[in-house]
């Protein structure tokens, strides 16, 4: 068991942030017209108007355990009642019927067109079995889709960060600037959806036995605005008709309920809620997976979620948390400013609950931490506050919960007082201890591994901080889409990370890192 440190005040206010992209690279992004020139780009463009206007695509999500599968989709609202029904089974000519719930979609998000969302849970799944499913849209069944479960003894996952479909806005493609306009005019979403699809197809070609995907947040780009064409582009990926995704609420997802309509997450809690939803958790194979909405800064609620999940699945060998903000990352835009803001509060909670691995996004760079645990000291707590008129969040300042001090995260040159406050903020966040281990295979470690995933679509990249932090073991920024493969069984948890070159080749960007357990 890990030593357990409880430090930091846990009662904070619920806040959601919208973060700047001041250090985003303006030179590098994945241009789908180039990487997809010979692999379907022209066809994707020809079908874009239809793709961007189809808000009714099905999304799959892991259920509360590996015997369940969750479905979500939109259907156009008619005079008849919604039919949230999935037909599912091994014989596509004799499928079982599973009924769920439905509700109205906010028409401000859909161009005033009326839709209803449908959420259904299918139960009784067995490993290594081929099933078929259809869903009902206004009482009409879709065509059957094949869905095959994999082994639950050895579980394989694709771990990705920030597809952020639509974030390539402002980049140049074929002599024109990509724009984030609404509907089919969103050429940035057109570009990024193709690349997102390419990444998943590439990862699956290399790893056909993957059970599901873990996304560390920012599925889409528009913050607090209507963005259904971005969700339509994201959900158009070929693989997603038969591959569940455990999504995380990123800062670009968090301010609207559209996320909650599109993803039917298991074991939803009332903790950590924003407009998009709150924390949730699920069990799969030998793992307990806990997903926190860290756009809400009420860490006491996140602690409640973790403790509830551990109590629900006490026998899980592995405890894995996914958050969007990278509290231990290495990107220039976030890791030393808003990314670290929850570090002093979450680190002791992760220690106390024996969290093995934390999967992060947000910084659009790749990094792998050393094994870390808390320093046992008392530190201040930080959050983001509302701006003066209450219309947005002040992501230029970190608020000290205890004192109310507003710490400027990017002081102007010559402002020595502000720089001193920022230096003190950074010093206070050195709240960790680095565990001494040898090599990339460790046995029964005390510390927690923190991963930060680069952009899976390549829609936007950030620079690395100029000096690699002492808590970082490996990092890279090669301006290419990347993904990780996690392999987990009762004794080992391994992670391998790859990038996809412009010609479609797959290259490892880090050594395999493996945690072994000899006892729970």
Express each pLDDT in 74-121 by its tens digit.
Answer: 999 988 889 999 999 999 999 999 999 999 999 999 999 999 999 999
* Across 431-436, average pLDDT: 97
In a domain, 133, yes or no: yes
Residues 352 and 403 in one domain: no
* pLDDT at residue 19 greater than cutoff 60: no
In a domain, 355, yes or no: yes
Residues 164 and 135 in one domain: no
| Residue position matching structure tokens 């952020």 | 164
pLDDT confidence bin for 389, thresholds 50/70/90: low
Residues 439 and 503 in one domain: yes
Per DSSP bridges, beta strands 130-137 and 140-141 are antiparallel
Q: Pick the more confident residue, 129 or 339.
A: 129
Q: Which of 148, 175, 199 is the last residue of a domain?
A: 148
In a domain, 235, yes or no: yes
In a domain, 49, yes or no: no
pLDDT of 27 reads 77
Can you spell out the DSSP letters for 96-136?
EEEE-EEEE--GGGTTT--EEEEEEEE----SS-EEEEEEE
CATH code of residue 79: 2.60.40.380
Residues 112 and 176 in one domain: no
pLDDT of 26 reads 66
Q: Calculate the average pLDDT of the chain.
A: 92
pLDDT of 337 reads 82
* pLDDT at residue 14 greater than cutoff 80: no
Residues 414 and 449 in one domain: no
pLDDT of 10 reads 30
* Across 175-186, average pLDDT: 97
Q: Please check whether residue 360 is in contact with residue 397, taking contact to mean a CB–CB distance below 8 angstroms.
A: no
pLDDT of 394 reads 77
CATH code of residue 285: 3.60.21.10
* pLDDT at residue 518 greater than cutoff 60: yes
Residues 128 and 112 in one domain: yes
| Model pLDDT for residues 242-256, shown as the tens digit of each residue | 999 999 999 999 999
Residues 97 and 214 in one domain: no
Tokens of 273: 């809620």
Q: Which of 116, 148, 180 is the last residue of a domain?
A: 148
Domain count, the chain: 3
Residues 369 and 480 in one domain: yes
pLDDT confidence bin for 387, thresholds 50/70/90: low
Residues 414 and 433 in one domain: no
pLDDT of 5 reads 30
Confidence (pTM):
0.93
In a domain, 122, yes or no: yes
Q: Please check whether residue 281 is in contact with residue 266, taking contact to mean a CB–CB distance below 8 angstroms.
A: yes
pLDDT of 485 reads 98
pLDDT of 23 reads 56
Q: Which of 117, 132, 148 is the last residue of a domain?
A: 148
pLDDT of 8 reads 30
Residue closest to 119 by CA, chosen among 260, 293, 289, 276: 260
Residues 375 and 491 in one domain: yes
* pLDDT at residue 207 greater than cutoff 80: yes
In a domain, 18, yes or no: no
Residues 406 and 289 in one domain: no
In a domain, 267, yes or no: yes
* Across 65-78, average pLDDT: 96
Residues 340 and 469 in one domain: yes
Angle at 308 between CA 304 and CA 311, to 5 degrees: 140
* pLDDT at residue 217 greater than cutoff 50: yes
* Across 197-210, average pLDDT: 98
Q: Find the domain containing 77 and state its range.
A: 69-148
pLDDT of 25 reads 63
In a domain, 8, yes or no: no
* Across 158-179, average pLDDT: 97
pLDDT of 15 reads 36
| Model pLDDT for residues 40-64, shown as the tens digit of each residue | 999 999 999 999 999 999 999 999 9
């Amino acid at each position: 068991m890990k030593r357990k440190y409880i430090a930091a005040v846990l009662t904070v206010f619920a806040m959601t942030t919208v973060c700047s992209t001041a250090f985003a690279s303006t030179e590098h992004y994945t241009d789908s017209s180039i990487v997809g020139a010979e692999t379907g780009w022209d066809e994707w463009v020809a079908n874009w108007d239809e793709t961007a206007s189809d808000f009714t695509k099905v999304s799959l999500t892991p259920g509360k355990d590996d015997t369940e599968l969750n479905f979500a989709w939109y259907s156009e609202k008619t005079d008849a009642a919604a039919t949230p029904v999935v037909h599912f089974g091994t014989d596509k000519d004799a499928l079982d019927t599973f009924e769920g719930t439905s509700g109205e979609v906010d028409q401000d998000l859909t161009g005033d067109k009326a839709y209803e969302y449908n959420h259904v849970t299918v139960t009784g799944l067995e490993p290594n079995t081929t099933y078929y499913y259809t869903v009902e849209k206004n009482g009409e069944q879709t065509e059957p889709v094949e869905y095959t479960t994999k082994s639950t003894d050895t579980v394989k996952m694709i771990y990705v960060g920030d597809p952020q479909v639509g974030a390539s806005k402002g980049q140049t493609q074929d002599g024109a600037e990509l724009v984030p306009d609404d509907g089919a005019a969103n050429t940035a979403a057109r570009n990024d959806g193709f690349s997102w699809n390419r990444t998943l197809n590439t990862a699956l070609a290399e790893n056909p036995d993957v059970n599901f995907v873990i996304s560390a947040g920012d599925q889409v780009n528009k913050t607090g605005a209507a963005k259904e064409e971005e969700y339509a582009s994201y959900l158009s990926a070929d693989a997603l008709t038969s591959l569940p995704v455990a999504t995380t609420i990123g800062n670009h997802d968090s301010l609207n309920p559209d996320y909650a309509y599109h993803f039917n997450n298991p074991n939803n809690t009332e903790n950590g809620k924003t407009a998009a939803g709150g924390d949730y958790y699920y069990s799969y194979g030998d793992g307990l997976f806990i997903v926190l909405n860290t756009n809400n800064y009420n860490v006491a609620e996140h602690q409640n979620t973790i403790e509830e999940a551990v109590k629900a699945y006490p026998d899980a060998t592995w405890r894995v948390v996914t958050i969007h903000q990278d509290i231990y990352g290495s990107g220039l835009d976030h890791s030393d400013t808003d990314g670290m803001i929850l570090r002093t509060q979450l680190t002791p909670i992760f220690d106390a609950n024996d969290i093995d691995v934390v999967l992060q996004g947000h910084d659009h760079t790749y990094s792998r931490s050393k094994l870390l645990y808390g320093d046992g000291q008392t530190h201040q707590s930080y959050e983001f506050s509302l701006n003066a008129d209450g219309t947005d969040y002040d992501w230029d300042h970190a608020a000290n919960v205890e004192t109310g001090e507003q710490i400027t995260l990017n002081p102007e040159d010559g402002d020595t007082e502000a720089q001193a406050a920022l230096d003190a903020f950074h010093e206070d966040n050195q709240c960790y201890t680095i565990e001494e281990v040898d090599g990339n295979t460790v046995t029964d470690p005390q510390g927690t591994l923190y991963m930060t995933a680069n952009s899976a679509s390549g829609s936007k990249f950030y620079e690395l901080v100029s000096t690699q932090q002492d808590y970082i073991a490996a990092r890279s920024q090669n301006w290419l889409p990347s993904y990780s493969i996690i392999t987990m069984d009762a004794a080992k948890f391994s992670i391998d990370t790859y990038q996809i070159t412009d010609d479609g080749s797959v290259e490892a960007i880090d050594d395999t890192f493996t945690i072994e357990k000899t006892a729970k």
